Amino acid sequence: MADGPVAELLLRRLEASDGGLDSADLAAELGVEHQAVVGAVKSLQALGKVIEAELRSTKRWELTSEGEEIAQEGSHEARVFRSIPPEGLAQSELMRLPSGKVGFSKAMSNKWIRVDKSTADGPRVFRVVDSMEDDVQRRLQMVQRGQAEKLGEKERSELRKRKLLAEVTLKTYWVSKGSAFSTSISKQETELSPEMISSGSWRDRPFKPYNFLAQGVLPDSGHLHPLLKVRSQFRQIFLEMGFTEMPTDNFIESSFWNFDALFQPQQHPARDQHDTFFLRDPAEALQLPMDYVQRVKRTHSQGGYGSQGYKYTWKLDEARKNLLRTHTTSASARVLYRLAQKKPFTPAKYFSIDRVFRNETLDATHLAEFHQIEGVVADHGLTLGHLMGILREFFSKLGITQLRFKPAYNPYTEPSMEVFSYHPGLKKWVEVGNSGVFRPEMLLPMGLPENVSVIAWGLSLERPTMIKYGINNIRELVGHKVNLQMVYDSPLCRLDAKPRPPPTQEAA
């Protein structure tokens, strides 16, 4: 505490001193641990300019615990010397003494003692001199008295080699009066307490200042994965635009709904093992809507509904093959088929965001599964201009306003357009999505009226998330190698919506 007894004593001594005092000296004078004085210095420093403290480091010689013992009791060799009576002592007996071994050899080399090996009952040790001077003890006592400087370099190093003496660095403070020096430092309160409020004592108490540079304590909280944050933003955008969410809770899909229903021919490369995960068990779909299947079969193999068809032999076995769906458009096809069964036709807007699976070559930006975002509008007389208009609204809600459209080929949309946006950072146009008008060969066999068009677009969830959160390796985002620190640290997802341009007017 700032005003503990040590701090108070320190202030009083400081007042009496001229100039200042050393913390180690003070500790010695007060008979307290040096650390207690250092604590007092630090807490007084925290009060502002009460004191000035300058850190000093001094080197000092100190006795080791063995050195202390020798200063007290005498050196081992002296103790050996003293224990030998005039008539001598058996060497084996001498060796059993506590100082025996070390003391014996030292006393021998000092020529204080000698060994007589001719005696009948083993070697005996005798004094050589009558008295001796215990220099080791004397020198250690000098160090103890703080007179280490009086010893020669050689003497000190000999004592250090015998591990009796050690050089220690002592950090002390030179304490002097500060500009706001006062001996009457009252206790600073750290925090407001209920008692202070009820008694009103807070009015008279000084409070310890806060360190506003310190970090706060993080609240205990959960963290949502960035993909979920971005996903909920996309859902929000679709819902704002009046789109209804499609059920997509079937990762397992039949080739029929995943490909055939979309007028994707059975020899299409996407239906290859290299591109799609097929299932071994359950390998085949158990039920298909057979009259619809017949219409699909006819359209593929012979054409119809104004189409030439693909003119090949369409096989039911191929359509039955189960797979991990390669796109959510299979779910859209199911929903559109259901919509087609509802009479009369009612316009609809649908969306979905869910997982799809592709047998891709894996790298930093590709995984075998990803999330697809898909939007679908079904109504009478929809145009390509409508598709572009709705894409513009959708992307402007994402903060993307500069769009352009490139002709493209998709098996189940015609016309098809890839959506590009200008990336100011990369200074180039980058693809942000794919879109098109579903082919009549897909819609008419479902039973949708002829003048109903269905426009659709899709994009991946991972890509905008990676861009948004600056993630370069998709494995850090998706899958168990996810970086939890990234999850902890990632901010809220706001898709940087800029003020939107006024909604486009319907062309007259």
Contact between 278 and other proteins by CB under 8 A: the answer reads no
In whole angstroms, how far apart are CA 462 and each of 43, 177, 195, 276, 410?
53, 64, 55, 20, 21
- CA dist 104 and 114 (Å) reads 10
Contact between 56 and other proteins by CB under 8 A: the answer reads no
- What is the DSSP annotation of 94-163? HHTSTTHHHHHHHHHHTTSEEEETTSTTS-EEEESSS----HHHHHHHHHHTT-GGGS-HHHHHHHHHTT
Binding span for other proteins by CB under 8 A among 146-154, 158-166, 198-206, 307-315 = 307-315
Own/partner contacts of 450-455, CB < 8 Å, gap of 24 or more, are: 451/380, 451/381, 452/345, 452/378, 452/379, 452/380, 453/378, 453/379, 453/380, 453/381, 453/382, 453/383, 454/336, 454/376, 454/377, 454/378, 454/382, 455/376, 455/377, 455/382, 455/386, 455/387, 455/390
The answer to whether 393 and 421 are in contact (CB under 8 A) is: no
Q: Please state the closest distance from residue 241 (CB atom) to other proteins, in A.
A: 8
Rg (CA), the chain: 46
Instruction: Out of 129, 224, 316, 497, name the contact with other proteins by CB under 8 A.
Output: 224
Compute the CA torsion angle 268, 274, 279, 285 (nearest 10 deg): 0
Q: Please state the closest distance from residue 403 (CB atom) to other proteins, in A.
A: 9
User: Per CB under 8 A, which of residues 253..272 are in contact with other proteins?
Assistant: 253-254, 267, 269
Instruction: Out of 178, 309, 422, 460, name the contact with other proteins by CB under 8 A.
Output: 309
Q: Please state the closest distance from residue 296 (CB atom) to other proteins, in A.
A: 15
Contact code string over 318-347 relative to other proteins, x by CB under 8 A: ----x-x----------------------x
Q: Please state the closest distance from residue 61 (CB atom) to other proteins, in A.
A: 45
For other proteins, which is the closer residue by CB, 65 or 361? Answer: 361
Q: Please state the closest distance from residue 455 (CB atom) to other proteins, in A.
A: 8
Instruction: Out of 157, 250, 402, 473, name the contact with other proteins by CB under 8 A.
Output: 250
Q: Please state the closest distance from residue 467 (CB atom) to other proteins, in A.
A: 17
In whole angstroms, how far apart are CA 241 and each of 107, 348, 388, 394, 405?
102, 12, 15, 8, 22
Instruction: Out of 34, 82, 101, 349, name the contact with other proteins by CB under 8 A.
Output: 349
Instruction: Out of 42, 145, 150, 311, name the contact with other proteins by CB under 8 A.
Output: 311
Instruction: Out of 9, 90, 115, 241, name the contact with other proteins by CB under 8 A.
Output: 241
Judged by DSSP in three states, 317 sits in helix
Q: Please state the closest distance from residue 309 (CB atom) to other proteins, in A.
A: 7
Instruction: Out of 22, 25, 158, 284, name the contact with other proteins by CB under 8 A.
Output: 284
For other proteins, which is the closer residue by CB, 177 or 320? Answer: 320
Element (H, E) at 82: helix 76-83
Q: Please state the closest distance from residue 470 (CB atom) to other proteins, in A.
A: 18
Contact between 390 and other proteins by CB under 8 A: the answer reads yes
User: Per CB under 8 A, which of residues 392..451 are in contact with other proteins?
Assistant: 392-393, 404-409, 414-417, 437, 439-441
In whole angstroms, how far apart are CA 84 and each of 62, 124, 231, 508?
31, 10, 93, 127
The answer to whether 226 and 461 are in contact (CB under 8 A) is: no
Contact between 126 and other proteins by CB under 8 A: the answer reads no
Instruction: Out of 173, 310, 314, 337, name the contact with other proteins by CB under 8 A.
Output: 310
Contact between 296 and other proteins by CB under 8 A: the answer reads no
Q: Please state the closest distance from residue 429 (CB atom) to other proteins, in A.
A: 8
